Amino acid sequence: MIPDFPLDHLALMGHADAPALFIQNQVYSYKELNLRIGRLAFLLKAAGLGDGDRVAVWTAKGLIACIMPLAAVRAGCIYVPVNPLLKAPQLAHIMADSGAKLLITNAARAKSLGKDDVGADVALWDEAESAAALEGEDASFLEPLPAGHDTQRLAAILYTSGSTGRPKGVMLSHRNLALGAVSVAQYLKLQDDDRVLAVLPLSFDYGQNQLLSIWRAGGCAVPLDYLTPRDVVKACARHQITTLAAVPPLWVQLTELDWPQEASSSMRRLTNSGGALTPVLVRDLRRLFGAKTDIYAMYGLTEAFRSTYLDPALIDDNPVSMGRAIPFAEIMVVRGDGRAAAAEEAGELVHAGPLVAQGYWQDTERTAQRFRPAPAYSRYGGIAVYSGDTVRQGADGLLYFVGRDDAMIKTSGNRVSPTEIEEVAVQSGVIAEACALGRRDDRLGEAIILFVRAMNGQSADEVPLRSHLKSALPNFMQPAEILWLDAFPKNANGKLDRNALAERI
């Protein structure tokens, strides 16, 4: 049976006196968390907001950013998170596209805004003042939504990072977000004594779920805005963190640091999404955290939240696998003719079921391209998300990533997956990160350009890298040029920014 409840009920899952949120040196119990959600919802209603009005938040991980997803829906509003790393021009696009009536930000950010960045009719609230209003003695607050509330109502619009063109707003219902929390809490086996260090942006569905899934389990979230990866290590030690989620570029940086015993001893699980783990990275994580810590490799897309995870018992033998479908998701590998792909046959990953989003905000054209009727053989039916990612299902039943259609490199008549080149390059042990891109070439169609970063403390040495690539890859997959970087550009969600690298070539 699929659970069904309003999103704001996630604040009610833990014991009333149990810690739910540790932020800015203050601990909020579930009772205190629910009270502040109710007070913030009351302030929104008192300001005349509700009935589908969009409310945007452009701040770091303060109290407002953490509880707004639940407070907004309790007031009948729709939550629009804006990544704090974005600048005024990107904010202006999101504000205009979403039609938000309220923006909550801090004083410094507000000063950076021009008169046309948010719109003349948009209310501007100061983050600090709004948070202070929640701590008063005023007894006015809104009660949780009733159990019979329509969970198909729109709850949030999450804007993609914009790595390909203008950011587009993915529409998520109460059910999408709440059921995603249930699913993740279930397969990660989260418990009420777990403590999650939330380092990812809350505007990122993976980042937002860190809070929602731990609250589903009745545990405690510890949001962190870090300046350096070493800050993450220190926070793990200070709070005896049991769960840490990150994307591959951050994992690479974390594995290059020394982890004292007090920072790693309490760690029960590590989770990865936003890019594939490599065998080298899995090995390094295992070296730091040992067999006692489960490593979860996961695959997802904002349009369906999360699609697959790999059982941590399998990761040492299958470090590059995407695993199998998460609870409440149906994952199909579909051929170009719409039929199911056979074992080991490549096809498009198609996701069906109740985690599928409601489409793109005010964009029927792109919605129709990505959200289409599920294949005839689908168990769930209805509308499915066609990911654009090419995968294959092995004879072992596990899924493996092949490449993204719009990222494939076409060279010498061959379609080459950049992921395959990158994984082999990192396996050399010479480099920490790699990114393969295609550059137009009159003779080859596209020449392969490989960007790399040397391991910490090591100088650029192309000879052993070239030797390894030649021994592991066919001639048509050999890079025409290897470019060494001191650091890789990252987008607002901490993922490797392929567009920024593409501009260099």
Q: What DSSP assignment string belongs to 216-239?
A: HHT-EEEE---SSHHHHHHHHHHH
- C-alpha–C-alpha distance, residues 333 and 346, integer Å: 7
Q: How many CB atoms lie within 10 A of CB 248?
A: 21
Fold of 1-175: Rossmann fold (3.40.50)
**Structure confidence at residue 245 (pLDDT):** 97
**pLDDT of the residue at 163:** 34
Task: Give the gyration radius of the chain's Cα atoms.
Answer: 23
Phi-psi region at 335: left, alpha or beta (left = phi > 0; alpha = psi -120 to 50): beta
Q: What is the pLDDT of residue 413?
A: 63
Q: What is the dihedral angle through the alpha carbons of 252, 203, 161, 367, rounded to the nearest 10 degrees?
A: 130
Q: List every span in the chain annotated with CATH 3.40.50.980.
A: 1-175
338 φ, ψ (degrees, to nearest 5): 90, -5
Residue with tokens 């829906």: 73
Element housing 485 (H / E): none
Contact 133, 43 (CB under 8 A): yes
Look up residue 476 and give its DSSP letter.
G
Cβ neighbours for 253, distance < 8 A, ≥ 6 positions apart? 229
User: What burial class does residue 102 get, using C-beta atoms within 10 Å of its C-beta: 0-12 exposed, 13-18 middle, 19+ buried?
Assistant: buried
Question: How far from 454 is each of 131, 197, 429, CA to CA, in Å?
Answer: 44, 28, 9
Q: Across 32-168, where does the E strand assignment appear?
A: 54-58, 78-81, 102-105, 123-126, 154-159
DSSP string, 270-307: EEE-SS---HHHHHHHHHHH-TTSEEEEEE--TTTS--
SS3 464: helix
Query: pLDDT tens digit string along 243-262?
Result: 999 988 899 899 999 999 99
Per DSSP, helices labelled H in 57-112 are 63-74, 88-98, 107-111
User: Class for domain 408-504, per CATH?
Assistant: alpha beta
From 482, 476, 433, select the one nearest 458 (Cα to Cα).
433
Query: How many residues make up the chain in this entry?
Result: 505
Handedness of CA 203, 208, 211, 216 (dihedral sign): positive
pLDDT tens readout for residues 265-294: 999 999 999 878 888 899 999 999 999 999
Q: Where in the chain is the domain with CATH 3.30.300.30?
A: 408-504
Query: How far apart, in whole angstroms, are the C-alpha atoms of residue 84 and residue 223?
Result: 14
What pLDDT sits at residue 164?
40
CB 350 within 8 A of CB 385: yes
- Which regions of the chain are under pLDDT 50? 162-165
Residue 402, C-beta contacts closer than 8 angstroms, at least 6 positions apart: 346, 389, 390, 391, 392, 417, 419
